[in-house]
Chains A and B, each alone.
Chain A
Amino acid sequence: MYDSQTTRHPDFTFLDQPEFKLKFATGADLASMRFYIGGMHCAKCVHRLEDLSVSVPGLLSLRIELGKDVAYVEIDPERACFSQVAEQIARLGYQPIPLEHVTTHEEAQKNEGRKELIRLAVAAACAGNIMTFSFATYFGAEEWALAFRWLSFLLYVPVVSYVAVPFYRGALQSLRQRQISIDLPMAVASLAGFLFSTFELAAGRTDVYFDSLSGFLFLILSARWIQRRMQRAYLRPQELHETLQLQRVRKIGPQSWEWTPVDTLEVGDRILVYANETLPADAQLLSSKAYFSLAWLSGEAKAKTFLKGAVIPAGARLLAGEAQLTTERPLEETGFGKILDEVRKFSLSQNRVVLRADRWAQWLLALVFAIGLVFLAVYWHISPQQAVQRSLALIILACPCAMAFGAPLALAVSLRRAQKAGLIIRNANVFEKANAVQTIFFDKTGTLTDTDLKYSGNPFIVPQVYQKIVLSLENESLHPIAFAFRQCFSQNTLPPIDNFQETPGIGVSGYVYGKYYELKKNTAASEEISCTLFEDQVALIKFTFEAQAKSDCSATLKNLRSKGYRTVLLSGDESGAVARLARELDFKEDDIISGASPAEKAMVVAKTPHSMMVGDGINDSLAMIQADVGLAVSGGMETALKTADVYLAEDGIHGVEALLSTSREAFSLLRQNLYISAIYNVLVGTLALMGYVNPFVAAILMPISSGFILFSTWLRGRS
């Protein structure tokens, strides 16, 4: 999509700017900074980079974290500066990109993760030891049984008072919202089981459930932990390049330019933009000529030539050289800025979608609870102790295990499968939403097609001399057509051009070998992009270009349609180019929408229920927010990632199929686990109410049921 390598030596001086450091550096003296390191892939890379701390004076420490491609840099501010360090890193062949402070959100996540791990360890230690002693009793250690039971009680205290706390919290929260969540029966089981068992123990009886309770609490905590780990999909920080871009801009001062935070830019400020940088404001061009790409608007990397005085919208990207401009409108008032704002709001919002699985679970739980209470009331007259014991057994055994274990496990397995299929999923609820999708919207450029143009004729039949002329004329051009020419014509020597002229929107012209040549774009609203070579005002050759559809598009679209999905081509491009592609890919007439602005795209999607949006650019972000499921294709821009639910790591769109089939599988697995759980509940519930369940039976049944779920999930995971 864009190339992060600039032609000139990278300039890191902005890293030392005070305002920059305020935002990016940490520590009392702002001497620490995190960097994303691009290009790192192995152990040797780690060594080369970390060794810098020995060879670069003033660099106190450089620690790599491979899994995140991050480097933690600490300098001695009096002897070194960040730009030096960044230069050294770049000199080794890596691209360092500074990262903002660890946000409080990230910090909170890390602490939460640590607490989870500790809780899990305590659960494991207590459960393991409790089970040692209770198994000893089951194996026949009669003389020690009482001592072991008291020991189990002591070991259960940390479980009930610390390990089970998340369940208490979840249960209380759901009660406040008048819902039943899985946390509730587990909280009840944990507490009630504890109280009941302690009472039994104190009364000198043997119905003590510490082992099965601690065991299942541990199992469920670990299932959740596994699921959460799989779910922490991360944005590849290379995409954060863009965020950085829009943080600061070169403001031209009396002497030279200076880095300035974008939000301090005022109307009338002169700014300097280099190649591959994005314009952070609507600005008027001061330089004589500049080529910008308006990809954010249309999704195409089509270069537009702007002459001095033209007003260029924010979000445009300079394709080559440098440009000086005057600020006309600050970022937040521009169309581009407004889109960014929407994107930011969306990514910060906490979507709490209640899964259907949760709803089923709620019903089941409510039912079990009801039965338990009814039984308690009825049996109380016969024997209060039996009533309590049996209904407790029902609650301990029937509710939590299979289901609480089964759902997160099914999701974890599906997430892993999705990962293997090249899908990066940000929220596990996407499976359910994807299952309901009926219409799939596809963006054109960058999604269905490559962003490059390709000459659609046979280059070999174009005479050499004309190849040379065309190349010569387009020598300086950064228009995609020029790139297409350069791709298919290869000439070593180019003839010189006299009187070269370029007319924006029309074409280029010049004298070669004394003849007057023009290469003019055909503006007729035909289906193709084309230009014609004129020699002395006589048309010689017409060149047509197409954006190539990605290789798997045809097959994927066919499969999707055969499965009953409606596919719609939604493009910001003009109808001509869109029509040709639509025909090639067999889109129905009604399912082609061209010339749509980002807002229009969003509206179309919003009006369609059960929709999926597949796109790659900023112009698709709004639509993705509106869709039920947003899918960002590989190579897409950061904003697409922020708004998409799923990111395709592999090239092409076959990932769409993979997502839909994985979702189907996920759901099927979830349903399977719920069925097993339901059957198990019925069986075990009956046994419990009939009084056949004692601690030993509980200790056996619970791991068995969990094991069964694990096994069946694993079996399905393999197929």
Chain B
Amino acid sequence: MKHENATVEEIYYDDDIVKMFILATLLFAGVAFAAGLLAAFQMAFWPMNFNLEWITFGRLRPLHTNAAIFAFAGNAIFAGIYHSSQRLLKARLFSDTLSRIHFWGWQLIILAAAVSLPLGYTRGKEYAELEWPISIAITLIWVVFAVNFFGTIAKRREKHLYVALWFYIATIVTVAVLHVINAIGIPFSAMKSYPVYAGIQDALVQWWYGHNAVAFFLTTPFLGLMYYYVPKAADRPVYSYRLSIIHFWALVFIYIWAGPHHLLYTSLPDWAQTLGVVFSIMLWAPSWGGMINGLLTLRGAWDKLRTDPIIKFFVTALTFYGMATFEGPLLSIKSVSAIGHYTDWIIGHVHGGTLGWNGFMVFGIFYYLIPRLWKTELYSVKLANYHFWTGFLGVILYYLSMVVAGITQGMMLLAVNPDGRLTYPDFIETVDRIVPLYWMRALGGTLYMAGFAIMAYNIFKTIQMAPASAPEKIRVTNTRGIHQVESGHRALEGAGFAFTVLTLLAILVGSIIEIVPTLSIHNYILPDAHVEPYTPLELAGRDIYIREGCYLCHSQQIRALSSETLRYGPVSTIEESMYDHPFQWGSKRTGPDIARVGKKYPDLWHYRHMLNPRAVTPHSIMPNYPWLAEHDTDFSILRQKMSVLKRLSVPYSDTDVANADIVAQKQAQTIAQGLTEQGAPPGLEKKEIVALIAYLQSLGQKYKNPIGIAHEAGD
């Protein structure tokens, strides 16, 4: 093949975009860690909710998780991917324009999240809380990212695709599919929507997304980054490149089906649960393949562990990764899940992974990358070492406290006396026991934050002292034989490709919107069973429940365990949640399960409980919700809500929809009157608290068996 121009090309990598993403990561790390820290203190000391609706735990937690996953990990991933891909492919990024759209678009999404979540605009699905306009924005920006990335691959000069790139590819493709499918919903207002799925369907889709979000957002990209940065930092090749290829393909085939392990003992059919368990256990092997490969890469360089903080971070990160990927399959075993599910053990597991694996990987990568990008030395290696030890201690404290708390609480809740009664009939007893551990966790978080503060200072000084430098010219040869023509049409080509992808996605979304409601009709319904949908007021109350993030501390799914039926009532059935868009099974019990709390307490009890939980449960750690008695319920939007739900196959009639607001107001009137009679202040019929009470009193009351009698608590 004849080459017209010089065979050696001189190119410039786009490192500015990398720097931008790095700085964004550091900024939002502060935000995410701070939010997490505040949430941790709120759990230990409820007054730190400050009676402020925008930062109560229920609204703060999604802010923390989204900031940690998308703002911190996300920006870090983009920084790492853009930096390493250019060098692995020996090509500058496909389009500078797309890079910047990606960057600014993503930061805008984060800002939108930072504003919308405290305001209560949440979809009520974990790690997928961001409402539909932001969801769409995420899709668009992700497509921009995909086009930019795949475009760079297309124009690469190095023909071999290093294994890290495969991890990136898997991430981009799978996250796109997961996000789109899980985010499908029908809006009923500018900032609110209902998911197209309900009940058990939603549970499955949510955790199919949720677990694979962990897999393909917090694991595969980090494994890819690990395969690039650990060898570079240690200056030795990966221990076994062949192993990395094998475990990549194995991982990518298996991961998809592990989702059901989040739903063990729930009303998810047994076979699906068992399948989830089996797959989760199988996952252990390819995950440890990655860990072993990473750790053994350092063989022969272990002395660096003493001196180099970067290696310290990497080794620790890999160890935590190994721990988490062992603990995960362990937790998937049904008997272990019986103890751990809904408890802080899961929180411990998550944070061992996120603080230990993701966090430390980011720190290691940044300590490696920042001096190189800014063409200077790290301001202080000693400070970096301090950061390591502080952070490490922080993670250990966090992890240990939460595992102990989780197991303690889990075992206490399961404990049944020889005479067949609950050993700890009051949930609050278990909470009391573990609050000291919440303090310990907050301490751990503080240490981690302190470590990060040290890093921020160190990086600030490093960049401050960095000389002004011009981009470095790189001389490369092209081993693909394809001559690169710098095309001005790059952005257009990219746009064309983007449009194709978006069209396909739109088709997919549209189809699913059409199909799912029809599928929902033929469910596991006993022939004569009757499940009533929510009344308009209950619907309003439910949406308040979601807005306040109540589902983050209270579950609505009684498992098939004897201690649970003793404590909460009959096991939850699939039918009971069949109209819940989104499902409310919950995944954590900071407070008790409320699947059958309906009609268990009088309305006044709920009124007093919401305003000040300690009035009815001393030692409660739940925040106050005084604004519920001050804000007015939005009755006008009820018609829209119900018509959307009707489209999603909830059996509302047209009159139901048309009269939604009137019916709701009438029911509110009744409840408010009753409250006033029992001693509450008058004029509550317009207030949100009444709607919420209506909802809470309906829980467990909607499923009437063929004879028409609802299950009573204690049956």
Check A-B contact in the complex, CB < 8 A.
yes
B501: CB under 8 A from chain A? no
Cβ contact within 8 Å between B477 and A60: yes
Cβ contact within 8 Å between B254 and A43: no
Q: Mark A123-139, 1 if CB is under 8 A from B, else 0.
A: 01100100010011101
Query: Which listed segment binds A: B201-209, B269-277, B609-617?
Result: B269-277
B237: CB under 8 A from chain A? yes
Cβ contact within 8 Å between A141 and B477: no
Q: Mark B403-429, 1 if CB is under 8 A from A, else 0.
A: 000000000000000000000000000
A76: CB under 8 A from chain B? yes
Bound-state Cα–Cα, A162 to B237, Å: 37
Cβ contact within 8 Å between A61 and B477: yes
Cβ contact within 8 Å between A60 and B7: yes
Q: Mark B235-270, 1 if CB is under 8 A from A, else 0.
A: 011000000000001000110010000000000011
Residues on A with C-beta less than 8 A from B279 are: 132
B489: CB under 8 A from chain A? no
Residues on B with C-beta less than 8 A from A137 are: 271
Q: Mark A45-70, 1 if CB is under 8 A from B, else 0.
A: 00000000110011111010000000
Within 480-539 of B, Cβ neighbours of A (below 8 Å) are at: none
Residues on B with C-beta less than 8 A from A204 are: none
Bound-state Cα–Cα, A63 to B481, Å: 13
B479: CB under 8 A from chain A? yes
Residues on A with C-beta less than 8 A from B272 are: 136, 141
Residues on A with C-beta less than 8 A from B257 are: 132
Give the shortest distance, in Å, between A686 (CB) and chain B (any CB): 30
Residues on B with C-beta less than 8 A from A58 are: 7
Chain B's closest residue to A75 (CB) is: B7
Cβ contact within 8 Å between A141 and B475: no
Chain B's closest residue to A74 (CB) is: B481
Bin the interface of chain A by size.
Answer: 20 to 34
Known contacts A43-B237, A139-B275, A141-B271; decide if A60 and B253 are in contact (CB<8 Å): no
Give the shortest distance, in Å, between B687 (CB) and chain A (any CB): 45
Residues on B with C-beta less than 8 A from A121 are: 249
B707: CB under 8 A from chain A? no
Residues on B with C-beta less than 8 A from A253 are: none
Residues on B with C-beta less than 8 A from A135 are: 274-275, 278
B112: CB under 8 A from chain A? no
Q: Which of B236, B253, B479 contacts A125 (CB 8 A)?
A: B253
Residues on B with C-beta less than 8 A from A564 are: none
Cβ contact within 8 Å between A139 and B274: yes
Cβ contact within 8 Å between A141 and B476: no
Chain A's closest residue to B10 (CB) is: A54
Residues on B with C-beta less than 8 A from A128 are: 253-254
Residues on B with C-beta less than 8 A from A54 are: 8, 475-477
Cβ contact within 8 Å between A136 and B477: no
Cβ contact within 8 Å between B479 and A76: no
A140: CB under 8 A from chain B? yes
Bound-state Cα–Cα, A43 to B236, Å: 8
Chain A's closest residue to B250 (CB) is: A124
Give the shortest distance, in Å, between A465 (CB) and chain B (any CB): 53
Cβ contact within 8 Å between B236 and A136: no
Q: Which of A43, A61, A139, A141 contacts B479 (CB 8 A)?
A: A61
Known contacts A53-B477, A60-B477, A61-B479; decide if A139 and B8 are in contact (CB<8 Å): no
Residues on A with C-beta less than 8 A from B274 are: 135, 139-140
Chain B's closest residue to A142 (CB) is: B271
Residues on B with C-beta less than 8 A from A125 are: 253
Give the shortest distance, in Å, between B78 (CB) and chain A (any CB): 28
Residues on A with C-beta less than 8 A from B306 are: none
Bound-state Cα–Cα, A132 to B253, Å: 11
Give the shortest distance, in Å, between B267 (CB) and chain A (any CB): 14
Q: Mark A34-47, 1 if CB is under 8 A from B, else 0.
A: 00000000010000
Give the shortest distance, in Å, between A498 (CB) and chain B (any CB): 60
Cβ contact within 8 Å between A136 and B253: no
Most chain A C-beta atoms within 10 Å of own C-beta, residue among B3, B278, B477, B479: B477
Give the shortest distance, in Å, between A142 (CB) and chain B (any CB): 8
Bound-state Cα–Cα, A717 to B237, Å: 29
Q: Which of B7, B249, B271, B475 contacts A139 (CB 8 A)?
A: B271
Give the shortest distance, in Å, between B127 (CB) and chain A (any CB): 25
Q: Which of B7, B270, B478 contacts A76 (CB 8 A)?
A: B7
Chain B's closest residue to A79 (CB) is: B7
Chain B's closest residue to A62 (CB) is: B477
Residues on A with C-beta less than 8 A from B3 are: 60, 76
Give the shortest distance, in Å, between B3 (CB) and chain A (any CB): 7
Cβ contact within 8 Å between B253 and A124: yes
Residues on A with C-beta less than 8 A from B236 are: 43
Residues on A with C-beta less than 8 A from B271 are: 136-137, 139-141
Bound-state Cα–Cα, A121 to B272, Å: 26
Give the shortest distance, in Å, between A149 (CB) and chain B (any CB): 14
Known contacts A135-B278, A140-B271; decide if A63 and B479 are in contact (CB<8 Å): yes
Bound-state Cα–Cα, A128 to B271, Å: 17
Q: Which of B249, B253, B269 contacts A141 (CB 8 A)?
A: B269
Bound-state Cα–Cα, A60 to B475, Å: 13
Chain B's closest residue to A80 (CB) is: B7
Bound-state Cα–Cα, A125 to B250, Å: 10
Residues on B with C-beta less than 8 A from A141 are: 269, 271-272
Give the shortest distance, in Å, between B473 (CB) and chain A (any CB): 12
Q: Mark B1-21, 1 if CB is under 8 A from A, else 0.
A: 001000110000000000000
Bound-state Cα–Cα, A53 to B158, Å: 13
Bound-state Cα–Cα, A141 to B275, Å: 10
Bound-state Cα–Cα, A340 to B479, Å: 39
Within 487-543 of A, Cβ neighbours of B (below 8 Å) are at: none
Residues on A with C-beta less than 8 A from B7 are: 58-60, 76
Cβ contact within 8 Å between A139 and B237: no
Residues on B with C-beta less than 8 A from A59 are: 7
Residues on B with C-beta less than 8 A from A60 are: 3, 7, 477
Give the shortest distance, in Å, between A430 (CB) and chain B (any CB): 26
Bound-state Cα–Cα, A57 to B5, Å: 12
Bound-state Cα–Cα, A137 to B278, Å: 14
Give the shortest distance, in Å, between A42 (CB) and chain B (any CB): 9
Chain A's closest residue to B478 (CB) is: A61
Within 170-204 of A, Cβ neighbours of B (below 8 Å) are at: none
Bound-state Cα–Cα, A354 to B660, Å: 84
Give the shortest distance, in Å, between A677 (CB) and chain B (any CB): 27
Residues on A with C-beta less than 8 A from B278 are: 135
Residues on A with C-beta less than 8 A from B476 are: 54
Cβ contact within 8 Å between B254 and A139: no
Bound-state Cα–Cα, A535 to B3, Å: 74
Give the shortest distance, in Å, between A92 (CB) and chain B (any CB): 17
Chain B's closest residue to A77 (CB) is: B2
Give the shortest distance, in Å, between B478 (CB) and chain A (any CB): 8
Bound-state Cα–Cα, A141 to B269, Å: 8
Within 612-646 of A, Cβ neighbours of B (below 8 Å) are at: none
Chain A's closest residue to B2 (CB) is: A76
Residues on B with C-beta less than 8 A from A139 are: 270-271, 274-275
Bound-state Cα–Cα, A410 to B33, Å: 55
Residues on A with C-beta less than 8 A from B479 are: 61, 63
Residues on B with C-beta less than 8 A from A132 are: 257, 275, 279
Bound-state Cα–Cα, A121 to B252, Å: 13
Give the shortest distance, in Å, between B136 (CB) and chain A (any CB): 32
Chain B's closest residue to A141 (CB) is: B271
Chain A's closest residue to B254 (CB) is: A128
Given A61-B478, A140-B274, 7 more pairs with CB closer than 8 A: A54-B475, A57-B8, A61-B479, A135-B274, A136-B275, A139-B270, A140-B271
The 6 closest A-B pairs by CB, nearest first: A139-B271, A141-B271, A139-B274, A140-B271, A53-B477, A61-B479
- Would you list 25 pairs from A and B whose C-beta atoms are within 8 A, ordered by A residue? A43-B237, A53-B8, A54-B8, A54-B477, A58-B7, A61-B477, A61-B478, A63-B479, A76-B7, A121-B249, A124-B253, A125-B253, A128-B254, A132-B257, A132-B279, A135-B274, A135-B275, A136-B271, A136-B272, A137-B271, A139-B270, A139-B274, A141-B269, A141-B271, A141-B272
The residues of B with any CB-CB pair to A shorter than 8 Å are 3, 7-8, 236-237, 249, 253-254, 257, 269-272, 274-275, 278-279, 475-479
